[in-house]
Structure 1
Amino acid sequence: MSTTSSTDHEGIVTVSRDVDAPVQAVWDVLADGWDYATWVVGASRVRAVDRSWPAEGAQLHHSFGVWPLLISDTSKVIASTPPTALTLVARGWPAGEAAVVITVTARGDETCTVAIAEDAVKGPGALVPKPLRQMAIGPRNVEALRRLAYLAEGRYRERVTS
């Protein structure tokens, strides 16, 4: 599968990946908050998910790090346009908070492209110069999209072949 990266005029890296599954299959993974730690790099577990997830204002309670050094925090939906867009504020204090924008665009009936753009917005992470923090965020999001694609593609194939 092809993964690409681009940088906008504000210096934010957007990572995109083609997925061999329809938009709805990707959205189904995004909409299941319990899957968050499966595809989000660094998230180690999900502790609770608001019943309204992924509606605007819903929260997902997660932990990040490696046991026994786990830190618990939340991610909150800022905007949701099913099945094509999800905007979150991912909290990971003491590092801070990041704005995350995920878009899903159809390429055909059974294929799509998923893109993710992320940047620190509060806390110590936002004090790191943008080019340096984007150098860390970009590769992390390449792996996150790989995991998201595998989940969506695998589940879609299971449904189609069952």
Structure 2
Amino acid sequence: MSTTSRPIAATPEQVWEVLSDGWLYPLFVVGASRMREVDDTWPAVGSRLHHSVGSWPLLIDDTTEVLEVEDGRRLLLLARGWPAGQAHVEITLSPSNGSTVVTMVEDATAGPGLLVPKPLRDVQLHARNVEALRRLAFVVEGRTR
């Protein structure tokens, strides 16, 4: 599993507010190009984001589902992007000296992504999640100014 962390200059509640708004995910999830629908119960267990990945005109419609949630602290997601496969993505929030450390733990769980040797897969996922957390920080910190 690839683990990536970043401090964000905001409270855990302010970060959670962004994570709880499924319509904002394409702003920070690398590869997500648009949101088609967000279940009314997002981010409750079983709720889904209906998104597209890729670049127009080569878009793939798929979903991300909440597997576990601890309100204000943790999300475990099943992110799908077939034909590439699917992955578990865990996002945790930890308060730290007036800011929030956001940690993403991700690994492939099905599909061709599992064919990539783990050390190479971890490097690729880490690079992607460094950028995702950078974008998330822009969104959260931009809203709190």
Distance 2:61 2:8 in 1: 31
The Cα shift of 1:154 comes to 1.2
Identity of aligned residues (%): 54
Determine which of 50, 53, 60 is the counterpart of 2:42.
Answer: 53
Give the secondary-structure state (helix, strand or coil) at the position aligned to 1:121.
strand
Q: 1:106-145 counterparts in 2 under 5 A?
A: 106-108=95-97, 110-145=98-133
Give the secondary-structure state (helix, strand or coil) at the position aligned to 2:144.
helix
The Cα shift of 1:17 comes to 0.3
Give TM-score scaled by structure 2 length.
0.98
Deviations 1:47-74 (A, max 9, x none): 0000000011000000000000000000
Match status 1:146 vs 2:123: no
The Cα shift of 1:13 comes to 2.1
The Cα shift of 1:104 comes to 0.4
Determine which of 63, 67, 74 is the counterpart of 1:85.
Answer: 74
Provide structure 1 residue ranges, at least 5 long, that are not aligned to the other structure. Answer: 1-11, 158-162
Number of corresponding residues: 145
Give the secondary-structure state (helix, strand or coil) at the position aligned to 1:150.
helix
Provide structure 2 residue ranges, at least 5 long, that are not aligned to the other structure. Answer: none
Match status 1:35 vs 2:35: no
Distance 1:62 1:23 in 2: 25
Distance 2:44 2:115 in 1: 30
Give TM-score scaled by structure 1 length.
0.88
Root mean square deviation of aligned Cα? 0.8
Structure with higher RCO (Cα < 8 A, 6+ apart) = 2
The Cα shift of 1:103 comes to 0.3
Distance 2:10 2:141 in 1: 5
Give the secondary-structure state (helix, strand or coil) at the position aligned to 1:133.
helix
